[in-house]
Chain A
Amino acid sequence: MSVHTQTSSPETIQSVLGSKARKRDWRKREVAVAFVFLAPWLIGLIGLTLGPMLYSLYLSFTDYNLLSSPKWVGLQNFVTMFTSDERFWVSTRVTIVYVIFGVPLILIVSLMIAALLNSKIAFLSGYRALFYLPSLMGASVAIAALWRQIFGGNGLINQILSYFGIEAGSWVGNPDTALGTLVVLALWAFGSTMIIFLAGLRQIPAELYEAAAVDGAGRVRRFLNITLPMLTPIIFFNALMVTINAFQAFTPAYVISGGTGGPVNSTLFYTLYLYQQGFAQLNMGYASAMAWLLVAVLAIFSGLFFWSSRYWVYYGDK
Chain B
Amino acid sequence: MKWIRRSSGIAAAAGLALTLAACSGGAEGAGGDSQDGTGDVSGQIAVAWWGGEARSAKTNAVIDLFTAQNDGVKVDGQATADFSKYFDKLNVQAASQSLPCAVQLQGRQVNDYTKNDLLMPLDPMIESGAIDVSDIPKSVLDNGRGTDGKLYFLPYGAAYDAVGINTTLADEAGVGLPEEGYDWDDYMSYLTEAQESLPEGVRAIDSNGGRPNFFIGWTLANGKSLFNDEGKLGFTEQDLTEYWNMWETVRKAGVTMPAARTAEEPTGPDQGFFATGEVMSDTIPGNALTPATETLEGQGEGQEMTTIPFPSGPAGSGNALYPSGFAIPVSCDNVPTAAAFIDFFTNDLEAGKAFAADNGAPTNTKVLEALIADDSLTPTKKHELELYKQIVESDPQAIVFPPGYQATFESSFKRAYEDVSFGKSTVEDAVKQFFSEANSSLGT
Interface residue A88 (Cβ < 8 Å from any Cβ of B):
no
Residues from chain B with a CB closer than 8 A to the CB of A172 are 263-264
Known: A281-B408, A291-B14. A264 touches B418 (CB 8 A): yes
Residues from chain B with a CB closer than 8 A to the CB of A52 are 11-12, 14-19
Known: A192-B2, A248-B6, A264-B419. A170 touches B264 (CB 8 A): yes
> In chain B between 1 and 39, which residues have their CB closer than 8 angstroms to a CB of chain A?
1-3, 6-22
Query: Which of A1-9, A64-72, A94-102 forms part of the interface with chain B?
Result: A64-72
CB < 8 Å neighbour of B422 from A258, A263, A284? A263
Bound complex: CA A278 to CA B267 (Å): 22
CB < 8 Å neighbour of A66 from B1, B10, B95? B95
Contact status A291-B10, CB under 8 Å: yes
**CB-CB nearest in chain A for B408:** A281
Residues from chain A with a CB closer than 8 A to the CB of B76 are none
Give the one of B7, B13, B14, B20 with max A CB within 10 A.
Answer: B14
Contact status A175-B14, CB under 8 Å: no
Interface residue B220 (Cβ < 8 Å from any Cβ of A):
no
Bound complex: CA A174 to CA B258 (Å): 10
Interface residue A313 (Cβ < 8 Å from any Cβ of B):
no
Bound complex: CA A284 to CA B6 (Å): 20
Interface residue A280 (Cβ < 8 Å from any Cβ of B):
yes
Residues from chain B with a CB closer than 8 A to the CB of A135 are 2
Contact status A173-B261, CB under 8 Å: yes
Interface residue B74 (Cβ < 8 Å from any Cβ of A):
no
Bound complex: CA A156 to CA B199 (Å): 22
Interface residue A104 (Cβ < 8 Å from any Cβ of B):
no
> In chain B between 394 and 441, which residues have their CB closer than 8 angstroms to a CB of chain A?
407-408, 411, 414-415, 418-419, 422, 424, 441
Residues from chain A with a CB closer than 8 A to the CB of B264 are 148, 152-153, 170, 172-173, 263
Give the one of B8, B13, B116, B415 with max A CB within 10 A.
Answer: B13
Bound complex: CA A287 to CA B14 (Å): 8
> In chain B between 77 and 120, which residues have their CB closer than 8 angstroms to a CB of chain A?
84, 88, 91-92, 94-95, 112-113, 115-116, 118
Bound complex: CA A68 to CA B16 (Å): 15
Given A53-B11, A139-B2, A153-B261, 20 extra CB contacts under 8 A: A48-B15, A49-B8, A51-B15, A51-B22, A52-B11, A52-B14, A52-B16, A52-B18, A55-B17, A152-B264, A153-B264, A173-B260, A192-B1, A192-B2, A260-B414, A263-B264, A263-B418, A264-B418, A274-B13, A288-B17
**CB-CB nearest in chain A for B85:** A279
Contact status B8-A66, CB under 8 Å: no
Residues from chain B with a CB closer than 8 A to the CB of A291 are 10, 13-14
Known: A153-B260, A173-B263. A67 touches B94 (CB 8 A): yes
Residues from chain B with a CB closer than 8 A to the CB of A49 are 8, 11-12, 15
Residues from chain A with a CB closer than 8 A to the CB of B222 are none
- Count of chain A residues with a beta carbon within 8 Å of a chain B beta carbon: 52
Interface residue A169 (Cβ < 8 Å from any Cβ of B):
yes
CB distance from A102 to the nearest CB of B (A): 14
- Chain A, residues 198-230, CB within 8 Å of chain B (1/0): the string is 000000000000000000000000000000000
Interface residue B259 (Cβ < 8 Å from any Cβ of A):
yes
Residues from chain A with a CB closer than 8 A to the CB of B295 are none
Interface residue B262 (Cβ < 8 Å from any Cβ of A):
yes
Contact status A169-B258, CB under 8 Å: yes
Residues from chain A with a CB closer than 8 A to the CB of B262 are 173
Contact status B91-A66, CB under 8 Å: yes
Complex A-B: 17 CB contacts under 8 Å: A49-B12, A52-B14, A52-B15, A55-B22, A135-B2, A169-B260, A173-B264, A175-B424, A192-B1, A250-B9, A260-B415, A263-B264, A265-B415, A280-B407, A282-B91, A282-B112, A292-B14
Bound complex: CA A153 to CA B84 (Å): 26
Known: A248-B7, A260-B414. A66 touches B113 (CB 8 A): no
Contact status B10-A271, CB under 8 Å: yes
Known: A244-B7, A263-B422, A264-B419. A53 touches B260 (CB 8 A): no
> In chain B between 108 and 167, which residues have their CB closer than 8 angstroms to a CB of chain A?
112-113, 115-116, 118
Bound complex: CA A68 to CA B95 (Å): 7
Contact status A64-B1, CB under 8 Å: no
Bound complex: CA A304 to CA B180 (Å): 70
Contact status A67-B411, CB under 8 Å: no
Residues from chain A with a CB closer than 8 A to the CB of B408 are 281
Interface residue A59 (Cβ < 8 Å from any Cβ of B):
yes
Bound complex: CA A274 to CA B260 (Å): 25
Residues from chain A with a CB closer than 8 A to the CB of B419 are 264
**CB-CB nearest in chain A for B18:** A55
CB distance from A35 to the nearest CB of B (A): 22
